[in-house]
Amino acid sequence: MAGVQGYGARVSSQPDLEPEASAGPGPVTHATARRVVLDAGGRAPLLPQARTAFLEALDQGWADPRRLHAEGRRARMLLDGAREAIAAAVGARTEEVDLAPSHTAALHATVRSVVRGRRRTGTQVVVGAVERAAVLNAADFAGDRVTVGVDRDGRVDPREYADAVRRPGVALAALQHANGEVGTLQPVDDAHVAARAAGVPLLVDAGASLGHVDVGGSWDVLAADAGDWGGPGGLGVLVTRSGVRRSPDWPEDEDRWFPGGVSVPTALAAAVALQAAGSTRSVDDAARRRLVDLVRSRVAADVPDVEVVGHPVDRLPHVVTFSCLYVEGESLLAALDARGFAVGSGSACTSSALEPSHVLAAMGALTHGNVRLALPRGTQEQDVERFLAELPGIVAGVREAWGVGGL
């Protein structure tokens, strides 16, 4: 990992952001309160080591790594070092690691290229019902999707998944390592055994897991998101074991899998962030798991008509989701933001899609008024306590604004 060592040693700090005015219901009574970021899913705050590595690589790795001059060779060395570090973190060989311009691009390319590479076998893609939309949409685009349902915790049944994989004509099986909306871990070990027995490669989406928990080795293709573990956004990771047949369905390019390549400073910063996250993972796990347990218990006890979802034990250490009845999700998120809390939502009603979360719907869970917390590393207990103290009143205020306070 010569291309990574020595980067990211210096720590920098970032000022807190002041809250902006919001159109949420009720007056903003905490306009001077410190911002509390509880939404690190997919875009975590950049780790200080990654920021340092990125800035240094802007000076040393700015050149095109395909060029033969000294500057190009230096950039190539840094890029290869980043790939080597990522490979070591997931237990792979450097040549098995490809870097993509995004996590979504990595997932799309995997599904499309594996289905095309195995088209003589068939075009069916087995997926869990709670996979990312990128996987579901790519499966529809590339072939015929076979969807395996989930239980109330969002977990597929290993036997049902194995039965689906054994069907004739299956080109690819896909199963997330853990669900980024509700935190539930999936039975990837069982799925991999079933896929191997059927001669089908297994794509494991570790976009919400890598850097937070051990993703293990039960996969044939692994996809991950640098932005989720505290690296810079705009970099996806794709690791393909030797023997998996892939064939691109896009124009030929020098970079076969992701034409145009990626930013060297971004790649180096992502690798440094992954190493930093791994070095503190056990401590981070214990601290954040305790805070998530606190949220799960307090929300269920203090907020009327609420459903806390996701497996209570077999889950990611930093993700917790709950849904509030009689609450419109966008209004609730806006009200929380106005009080200084940045949270996410598993519901696409906060985007232009205006549709409930397919994950919550597949689980049979309440889809209204959904709040998802993905705790960044270093989240302070006092900030979580303030969130829990103010949440019941904020929910009540939104309900009153919508005329359902007495229900």
> pLDDT tens digits for 110-126?
999 999 999 999 999 99
Choice between 373 and 32, residue whose per-residue pLDDT is larger: 373
Dihedral of the CA atoms 189, 191, 193, 199 (nearest 10)?
-140
Question: Any alpha helices (H) in 61-152, and if so which ranges?
Answer: 70-90, 103-117, 133-142
Say yes or no: domain 48-276 is CATH 3.40.50.720: no
**Cα 234-375-221 angle, rounded to 5 deg:** 45
Q: What share of the chain is helix, strand, coil (3-state, %, to 5)?
A: 40, 15, 45
Please give the Cα distance from 282 to 224 (Å, whole number): 20
pLDDT in tens, 307-329: 999 999 999 999 999 999 999 88
> Can you give the pLDDT at residue 7?
62
* pLDDT exceeds 90 at position 19: no
Please give the Cα distance from 287 to 152 (Å, whole number): 26
22-27: long-range pairs with CB below 8 Å, 24+: 22/334, 22/335, 22/337, 22/338, 23/334, 24/331, 24/334, 24/335, 24/336, 24/337, 24/338, 24/398, 25/331, 25/335, 25/397, 25/398, 25/400, 25/401, 26/335, 26/338, 26/394, 26/397, 26/401
> Can you give the pLDDT at residue 22?
37
Helix (H) or strand (E) holding 277: helix 264-279
pLDDT in tens, 247-284: 999 888 888 889 989 999 999 999 999 999 999 999 99
* pLDDT exceeds 90 at position 2: no
pLDDT in tens, 327-361: 988 899 999 999 999 999 975 444 445 578 999 99
Q: Per-residue confidence at 405, pLDDT binned at 50, 70, 90?
A: low
Q: Where in the chain is the domain with CATH 3.40.640.10?
A: 48-276
* pLDDT exceeds 60 at position 291: yes
Helix (H) or strand (E) holding 49: helix 48-60
Contact predicate 194/166, CB 8 Å: yes
> Can you give the pLDDT at residue 32?
54
Mean pLDDT of 76-99: 97
> Can you give the pLDDT at residue 329?
87
> Can you give the pLDDT at residue 106?
97
Mean pLDDT of 289-306: 97
Say yes or no: domain 36-45+281-402 is CATH 3.20.20.70: no
Q: Per-residue confidence at 28, pLDDT binned at 50, 70, 90?
A: very low
* pLDDT exceeds 90 at position 8: no
Q: Per-residue confidence at 21, pLDDT binned at 50, 70, 90?
A: very low
Contact predicate 224/210, CB 8 Å: yes
Dihedral of the CA atoms 46, 131, 116, 173 (nearest 10)?
120
Residue 63 CB-density burial (10 A; 0-12 exposed, 13-18 middle, 19+ buried)? middle
